[in-house]
Amino acid sequence: MDRHILSNLTSLFRFPFQGHDWANRFIVGCALLFAGWVVPIVPVLFIYGYAVDLMRRVIRGDEPSLPPWENWGRLFVDGLRAWVVGLVYLLPGTVILVGGFMLYMVGSFGMIPLAERQPPDALLFSFFVLIGVYFLSYLVGSLLFFLGLIPLPAATAHFVAEDRLGAAFQVRRWWAVLRERGWEYLIVWILLFGITLLIYLILMGVYSTMCLCWLVPILAAPMAFYTTLVAAALFGLVWRDYAIRTTE
């Protein structure tokens, strides 16, 4: 990993809790994510737009810090564009996952009226076929979803740097980052994936206690917002480092 990023890794994980008016800005982000449990999608788009604003500032040379919540129209548009980028890259895996689950549910309910008219062996065979299709779709869908997650930060950073939605789909352009800064990118990706997985396990642990499950939305909002901020800053620095090196 680049020495500048490695030597400042601790401060990069602390920056959301530093700087001018950081507490109010962090609380606004948490409130928007919490509102996403009530109003779907729209509040999250502002979070995406805020992450785009942060990444843009980092790519242009600013040190990571929480930007002010301003120009809400721009935040919404940027968030919508970032959401579209994520949707496109994760769509194949999502379609297969959802499609396999829906096929399993429809097939299972469809077997109920046939239970009295079909031999038990035929019903059992049909049931195992449905189970096989479901697990196959789960495996293939999860793999495609995971493969979509890997290049997504690079595609998003290219879109942010160029300020064009189409830039996210110029694979040859952002692939140069993975080819040139592959280890740095991979380390950051694995690090953030590990943090996300840890947060998920913590939330699932809280949820499984039953009596504390009402805390999950309250805990999830700051955890998710923090991870989004750190991811935007780290991948913004990776992209900025690549851009600087290619222009030297």
Give pLDDT, residue 20.
87
- Cβ-based neighbours of 216, under 8 Å, separated by 6 or more: 203, 206, 207
Q: Cα–Cα distance between 158 and 166 in angstroms, integer?
A: 9
pTM for the full model? Answer: 0.87
| Residues recorded for the chain | 248
Tens of pLDDT along the chain (248 residues) come to 444 555 567 778 999 999 889 999 999 999 999 999 888 899 999 999 999 999 999 999 999 999 999 999 999 999 999 999 999 999 999 999 999 888 878 877 766 665 566 666 666 777 788 888 889 999 999 999 999 999 999 999 999 999 999 999 999 888 887 787 778 888 889 999 999 999 989 988 888 887 888 888 899 999 999 999 999 999 999 888 766 554 44
Q: Based on the structure, what is the number of domains in the chain?
A: 1
Residue 140 CB-density burial (10 A; 0-12 exposed, 13-18 middle, 19+ buried)? middle
DSSP assignment letter at 235? H
Task: Tell me the residue range of the domain where 7 lies.
Answer: 3-247
Q: Which two tokens stand for residue 170?
A: 């110029």
DSSP assignment letter at 213? G
Give pLDDT, residue 1.
44
Give pLDDT, residue 38.
87
Residue 244 near residue 63 (C-beta atoms within 8 A): no
Give pLDDT, residue 239.
87
